[in-house]
Amino acid sequence: MASFNFETHNINVTSLPGDPSQDGTDATGVTQPTGGVGIRGWLSGIFNLFNGGTAKVNATLTGSIICKETNKITAIATDILTDYTATTNMNSTLMIMTNTTGILSLEVDGVLGYLNGGTSLDVSKWYAFEVPITNTSVYNLQFSAVATMQIKWIGGV
């Protein structure tokens, strides 16, 4: 039977050519999270954002606002948005959050349809629906329960 001798070698980051933690430069206007040092500080800050933290996002709106309601109080089966008449054909995105479970419906030219497959919306969860808008059609948005709603409906997206 053969025997082997293994040698132990310790390698640390400073023994690498250059200092990998200093490679590149920080982006303009970006600061490392409090308490962080070096690359591990940056990575722990990034991990924290992905793991339930919050981040500020700068975005540009493309299109036009069809409806924006903050803390809109609705009654059962009454219109949240009443008689919006389209002036052009366009794609749109309807985003909604509610504090009560209920079914969201959209009436277009007198024909009622259910969004989310007729399934109740969950509390405090944002939903987004793609809604094609047709020139001269009339839109009414309704909810099946008394609720406080957050609504953003953007056309031309």
7-23 tens-digit pLDDT = 665 655 555 555 666 66
> 4 falls in which pLDDT band (50, 70, 90)?
low
Do 48 and 112 fall within a single domain? no
Q: How many helices (H) and strands (E) does the chain have?
A: 1, 8
Q: Distance between CA 104 and CA 119 in Å, rounded?
A: 8
Domain extent, residue 100, equals: 64-155
- Please give the tally of structural domains in the chain: 2
Burial annotation 111-135 (CB, 10 A radius, 16+ → b, else e): eeeebeeeeebeeeeeeeeebebee
Residue where a domain stops, chosen among 21, 39, 60: 60
Question: How does strand 147-155 pair with strand 64-74?
Answer: antiparallel
Instruction: Tell me: pLDDT of 124 over 80.
Output: yes
Instruction: Answer yes or no: is 5 within a domain.
Output: no
101-113 tens-digit pLDDT = 999 999 999 999 9
**Would you give the DSSP letter of residue 88?**
S
Tally of residues, the chain:
157
19-74 tens-digit pLDDT = 666 666 767 777 777 777 777 777 777 777 777 766 676 777 678 888 888 998 88
